[in-house]
Amino acid sequence: MKENPAPSCDVCVVGGAGRVGLPLALVLADSGFKTLILDINETALKTIAQGAMPYREEGGQTLLKKVNGTGRLTFSSEANSITRAAVVVLTVGTPIDEFHNPNLSLLIRCLEGLIPHLRDEQTIILRSTIAPGTTNYIDGYLRSRGKKIGLAFCPERVVQGKAIEEIRALPQLVSGTSPEALAAAKTLFSKIAPEVVEMSPLEAEFAKLVCNAFRYMQFAATNQLYMAVESAGLDYCELLSKMKRGYPRMGSIPGPGFAAGPCLMKDTMQLFAFQKHNFVLGQMAMTINEGLPNFIVEQLARRFDLRTKRVGILGMAFKADSDDIRDSLSYKLGKLLRFHGADVSYRTYLIPTSTPRILHSSTKKHWCASVTLSFSGYRMPPIALFTCPGKKRLSIFGLRFPAAKRRRLHEADHLPKHSHSIPRLL
C-alpha cells in the first residue's frame, strides 16, 4: 500500500496495524493527533483503511469508524513516510531467542530500514517491552549512525483486548534519554492518559517487566496450590471460595488457569536472562504454569484409558474473549492428549478458519471429557473438566453441572452459531 498524500503528521506508529500499535493509533487520532500507521502488513492496512478491525479489540470497531472519517488517520507501507512525522512510536515485537535471551534483531532490523528517513529533530518512542539497558543501547546505536534523535521509552501496560479503554484510564510511565525526549513523550501522553509518571529509562524497563513477572508468579502460585489440593481429591475452586469468604487478606488470590500468551512468560524470561539465569521464583513459575496441561492430562489418564476416548477442548485462544492463539497452552494440552492416544477435537469462538475441526468425530471412541479453557461464551470457569453425560459423578474445576446441562454441552448444535471451529495445528 502506497502512502496516502499528506503534508505532515504529528505521530507515526510503526507496526501500527498490530495489537499494540493499532489501539494506540486510534486513541491518538481520536484525541486530535494527525496519526500515520506504518506497517509492512499491507493486508491489515487495507482492512483497517476499509473500516474493519483485523482482530478483536473492545471498542475498536466503533472508534475506527469514527476516526476514519476525520482525516486524522492515514496509512502507509513505505518507510520514507516517517520523514513527515514529529514523533515516531515503535511497536515492534521483542521476542526471546532459543536460549531464553532477549532478541533485538526485529527492532534493529526495523531501525535499519527507518534510519535513512529519520530527521535529527524527531523523537522516537519505544513502546514494546524491552530488557533492562535496551533504551540506552538503542540510543548509542542511533548516535553511532550519526543520528541526533530524541529517544524515549514509554511501555504499554494494557490488557490485550481492552487496550483502548486502558490507554485512557491508566497512568502512563514515561522516560527519555534526554530532557527533550522526555518532554516530547510527556506532551504526547498527557493528551491521552490521565497521568504521566516520570522515570529513568532503566526504571521504566524494570517497571514493565516486574509488573508482568509478578502477575505470572501470582498465577503460578495459585496453579501450584490448585494441583496440590486437587491431588488430594478436593475441589480447589470451592475451597478458594470458602477461604476467601469474609477474609480480606485472601481477596487478591486469583483462580487457577492457563497463564500463557505472548507477554507474561516472555517478560519473566527477560528478567531470568538479566539475572544471569539466577531468578528462582521466575524459573519455578515457568515450570508450574507450563506444567498445568500435564497435570490435567494426568488427572484424566488416572480415570480413563485415553486410547479409547474422545476429548473436546473448547476455547483455543491464550486467554478469555480473545482471538489470539499465540503461545496458547490449549494446543499443548491437545498435543499431550493425543500423545496419550486420545482423539482430540477443538472448538472455539472468534477464530475463523477454512479447515474446520468440530466436536463431532468419525471415530468410534466414546466421549471421555471436555476441557473448557477460559472463554465467557461457554459460560464456564477458567478451567472446567466435565465427564461425558453417561457418567454419574461429575469432576469439574470450580463448577457443578447437572446431567441435562452436560448433555447439552456435548451437543455441537448447542454451541452458539457465531462460534468458529479451528484446525488441528499440533
Q: Which tens digits make up the pLDDT trace of 299-337? A: 888 888 888 888 777 766 666 666 666 767 888 888 898
Within a domain: 388: yes
Domain boundary among 138, 165, 200: 200
Do residue 220 and residue 193 come from a single domain?
A: no
Mean pLDDT of the chain: 81
Check pLDDT > 60 for residue 370: no
Check pLDDT > 90 for residue 220: yes
Cross-strand bridge partners of residue 36: 12, 74
Do residue 416 and residue 311 come from a single domain?
A: yes
Over its C-alpha atoms, the chain yields an Rg (Å, rounded) of 24
Do residue 164 and residue 223 come from a single domain?
A: no
Domain count, the chain: 2
Do residue 192 and residue 136 come from a single domain?
A: yes
The CA-to-CA distance between both ends of the chain, in Å, stands at 34
Residue 238 structural domain: 216-420
Do residue 407 and residue 340 come from a single domain?
A: yes
Do residue 122 and residue 240 come from a single domain?
A: no
CATH number reported for the structural domain that contains residue 136 in this entry: 3.40.50.720
Looking at 95-140, which runs of residues are DSSP E strands? 123-126
Do residue 131 and residue 232 come from a single domain?
A: no
Do residue 77 and residue 143 come from a single domain?
A: yes
- The confidence score (pLDDT) of residue 175 equals 98
Contact 194, 167 (CB under 8 A): no
Within a domain: 22: yes
Domain boundary among 141, 168, 200: 200
Within a domain: 210: no
Alpha-carbon span 194 to 109, nearest angstrom? 34
What average pLDDT does this structure show over 393-420?
Answer: 40
Do residue 265 and residue 404 come from a single domain?
A: yes
What average pLDDT does this structure show over 217-224?
Answer: 94
Within a domain: 135: yes
CB atoms within 10 A of CB 77: 18
Those residues whose C-beta lies under 8 Å from the C-beta of residue 261, and which sit 6 or more positions away, are 160, 318, 319, 324, 326, 327, 328
- The confidence score (pLDDT) of residue 320 equals 65
Do residue 53 and residue 106 come from a single domain?
A: yes
- The confidence score (pLDDT) of residue 362 equals 40
- The confidence score (pLDDT) of residue 323 equals 66
Within a domain: 413: yes
Tens-place pLDDT, residues 32-72: 999 999 999 999 999 999 999 998 899 999 999 999 989 89
- pLDDT category of residue 380 using cuts at 50, 70 and 90: very low
Do residue 166 and residue 299 come from a single domain?
A: no
- pLDDT category of residue 374 using cuts at 50, 70 and 90: very low
Within a domain: 118: yes
Do residue 151 and residue 180 come from a single domain?
A: yes
Which amino acid makes up residue 3? E
Within a domain: 207: no
Check pLDDT > 50 for residue 391: no
- The confidence score (pLDDT) of residue 322 equals 65
Domain boundary among 136, 170, 200: 200
What average pLDDT does this structure show over 381-409?
Answer: 43
Alpha-carbon span 420 to 353, nearest angstrom? 7
Tens-place pLDDT, residues 253-271: 988 888 876 678 888 999 9
- pLDDT category of residue 367 using cuts at 50, 70 and 90: low
Ramachandran assignment for 83, one of left (phi > 0), alpha (psi -120 to 50 degrees), beta (any other): alpha
Alpha-carbon span 127 to 163, nearest angstrom? 13
Contact 174, 190 (CB under 8 A): no
Alpha-carbon span 316 to 349, nearest angstrom? 8
Within a domain: 3: no
- The confidence score (pLDDT) of residue 193 equals 97
